[in-house]
Amino acid sequence: MAHKTLTISEEAYNALARMKSKDESFTKVILRLAQRKSKGNLLDYVRSFPPDNELADRIEEVLEKRGSIRIRASRR
């Protein structure tokens, strides 16, 4: 496979690095983002990320706390 060298700003590099998973190359990040734009399908975009158990645990905690909160109507 041929390789090309790109010059990008540090800001662009940092943005790509934040989107990159541990086992993902920068090439794969760029291809994933390019496909996302062309597909326009949110579900495909979400499925392109590896599972995040820590995030899932936090969401479950928030949902549990939300379920225990009672909202009462204000008296006028």
Position 75 in a domain: no
Question: How confident is the model over 14-40, as a mean pLDDT?
Answer: 84
Whether pLDDT at 44 is above 60: yes
pLDDT at residue 45 is higher than 90:
no
Answer whether residue 35 is part of any domain. yes
Q: How many domains does the chain have?
A: 1
d(CA 21, CA 16): 10
Q: How confident is the model at residue 47 (pLDDT cuts 50, 70, 90)?
A: confident
The domain of 47 spans 10-68
Round the CA-based radius of gyration of the chain to a whole number and report it. Answer: 20
Evaluate whether residue 3 is within a structural domain: no
The pLDDT assigned to 37 comes to 59
In Å, how far from its chain's centre is CA 13?
16
> pLDDT of 49-76, one tens digit each?
888 899 889 989 999 988 887 777 777 6
Domain contains 27: yes
Most confident residue range from 6-10, 28-32, 42-46: 6-10
Determine, yes or no, domain membership for 45: yes
Residue 49 is classified by DSSP as S
pLDDT at 31 over 80: yes
Tokens of 37: 């734009």
